[in-house]
Structure 1
């Protein structure tokens, strides 16, 4: 029988909102724990959706129920098991190097669907340190050090070498990387450091005064490198750059964009001032501005300026199909309540707000125009909700 397959028997069943949980007479599946996700695979033809340990028993989640006593063939998804083993072993390597060579302790660890992370007890690491760490890890991978996994009685554990004290009793499962790590661990691991392929740190973030390092190893590292390379090719093609010039070109484009945004903001302020002056020439209690092609930010800036004059300002933005109603607080009308009630009566749009300002969104320009006409008419005629 292959190491990823087994013949066994269903021993018990229970159900919850997730599906049907089964225990087996003997299970080769790794249950979620210690930062490592559960194995995936099949029981018969049914995919195993999750594996958890509860009260010392291994429970397997299936979409359908199998009868107790049924003989079944089970198979672990070898690719998922290998991937999890690589990511977990990579964590052992990172933790050992950081602690033994740099005095930095690992606080927590977890494997995600696309990357993994460890939280480490430092706040001073930078990318130069990360790149040096990656070089140290790659050297250990090149050395292809053997990794032994075995069980020994608790009294035979070498306490002086143990990475972290364990509260387990009876037989203790030891994971030993030759010359690097001696750890009590129940997870799955590869057989040599060479099987890790490579380990890349992809992100670094401060958390609770410490640092969280996100990393990928094995095929995940290859995929991350390919994605980064594809993104870089796109940048090269767009800006006609090389690896040596791309950073300077991106910074240049960013600087140009910031300058353009400043210019646009200055122009928008001038446009807003001119449009407000045009609206205010009409001596109406309700002042209307319709922005057919302008950005929403310009529409709201114009409406806010009109409202600041003491009038009730109504604005519309065709691009976002939004309607705005505002005043400066000197009007008695609660525009949020008014707008919500009017929309409910018309059975179009959705919106609301507070005493001074409100907004609504519509599903089409036709609805928006209908809303503008009715809202302005009601405000001018004083048709307000009780």
Structure 2
């Protein structure tokens, strides 16, 4: 029965002895064992599995399959005799703090605003809940966090109770339970009643603290990222480290980092604008220089390391400057070729024929219209060779 599993009898159980009742080798070459009883919690309900040791051998995964708990071990266990299990307590207690914190935070959203939680994820660094609402304000987040931490500080008991389906009406459950046989309730008296199969501390005070860190939209829901217990301190240390680094690099006191960043961003925007203007001026000069070297009405050039965006700008400047020219530009990198072909307003020839020829030669993709095309593909040849193929498509050889 579920209620007889050691992690349900005592979530603080760190060591236990048992025997192997079944072993198997999976198709990945991993040994899996089923024990007479176990304190290892299997993955489920948003909570990751426990880790630890069986007879000194590392347990790497724990999962429940058809009512049996399989422990994946780093090497084969001796299937005879007693087995000593040791739970990775740091991992287990962290999960207990996060899961209980989730219950408390979820209940706070429901109690204050009627926002139900529809999913929970306990990650390696952060936890998240998805609340069934399209938007949540900063004031609502602050209020929910404040109420949650008030419940933590009250150090209320966290109780577990096994009930039958007919007994459920006695409790004000936050949501309907998904099981009908052995039903386990996790209860914070007068605050939260919830069907749950996870492990939890015996009181809210052991959660220590709950901190909401950020939110993001998830379709028509809001995902709330948070941390509990020891993870709050870890996040504080991490953020303090980055703040100190930023303070040093900006030569600004920590409480003025935001102002310094704002000034830096303003300066950066000014510089970027000036740089864009300089680039446009250089492209204009480059276009005039290329026009001086046109041959038989064609301006052509092969570049190294230029972006297709630069080629497009240059081509547009050229056909704006001279409406009787055809422009063929190629850019090559270590593994890619890109091209642009354009015509002036006085030219009737379609650029699509040069595009088709070029794309075929480089196994590429592109697009455009009769007046302007661009594309790119594999570097199957040198840039000059691609240029020659583009010229041949016009029956030209310059």
TM-score tier (shorter):
0.7 to 0.9
Gap change, CA 1:68 and 1:280, over 3 Å in 2? farther
Gap change, CA 1:379 and 1:155, over 3 Å in 2? closer
TM-score by length of 1: 0.82
Shift of 1:84: 0.9
Aligned residue in 2 for 1:272: 283
Shift of 1:72: 2.5
1:206-263 deviation per Cα after TM superposition (whole angstroms, max 9, x unaligned) = 2232211011111211111111112211222222334543333323322332233222
Aligned residue in 1 for 2:201: 190
Equivalent position to 2:19, from 3, 9, 13? 9
SS at match of 2:26: strand
Gap change, CA 1:150 and 1:311, over 3 Å in 2? same
Separation of aligned partners in 2, 1:357 and 1:44 = 65
Gap change, CA 1:249 and 1:275, over 3 Å in 2? same
Runs of at least 5 residues in structure 2 that lack an aligned partner in the other structure: 1-5, 7-11, 343-349, 368-372
SS at match of 1:35: coil
Aligned residue in 2 for 1:225: 236
SS at match of 1:95: helix
Aligned residue in 1 for 2:339: 325
Q: Is the 8 A contact 1:144 1:192 kept in 2?
A: yes
SS at match of 1:245: helix
Separation of aligned partners in 1, 2:173 and 2:41 = 23
Alignment of 1:207-226 (within 5 A): 207-226=218-237
Shift of 1:195: 1.3
1:315 paired to 2:328: no
Deviates more, 1:15-24 or 1:197-206: 15-24
Q: Is the 8 A contact 1:37 1:111 kept in 2?
A: yes
Separation of aligned partners in 1, 2:284 and 2:190 = 73
RMSD: 3.2
Shift of 1:272: 1.3
Runs of at least 5 residues in structure 1 that lack an aligned partner in the other structure: 341-351, 363-367
1:290 paired to 2:303: yes
Shift of 1:92: 0.6
Aligned residue in 2 for 1:40: 51
Shift of 1:56: 1.0
Aligned residue in 1 for 2:347: none
Aligned residue in 2 for 1:339: 362
Separation of aligned partners in 1, 2:312 and 2:63 = 53
How many residues are paired up? 364
Separation of aligned partners in 1, 2:316 and 2:15 = 69
Shift of 1:305: 5.1
Deviates more, 1:320-329 or 1:260-269: 320-329
Separation of aligned partners in 2, 1:162 and 1:339 = 64
1:70-115 deviation per Cα after TM superposition (whole angstroms, max 9, x unaligned) = 6432222111111111110001101111112332211111111211
Separation of aligned partners in 2, 1:190 and 1:235 = 38
Q: Is the 8 A contact 1:291 1:299 kept in 2?
A: no
Separation of aligned partners in 2, 1:359 and 1:32 = 47
1:119 paired to 2:130: yes
SS at match of 2:176: coil
Shift of 1:307: 8.4
SS at match of 1:161: coil
Deviates more, 1:76-85 or 1:276-285: 276-285
1:52 paired to 2:63: yes
Separation of aligned partners in 2, 1:123 and 1:129 = 13
Deviates more, 1:98-107 or 1:308-317: 308-317
TM-score by length of 2: 0.79
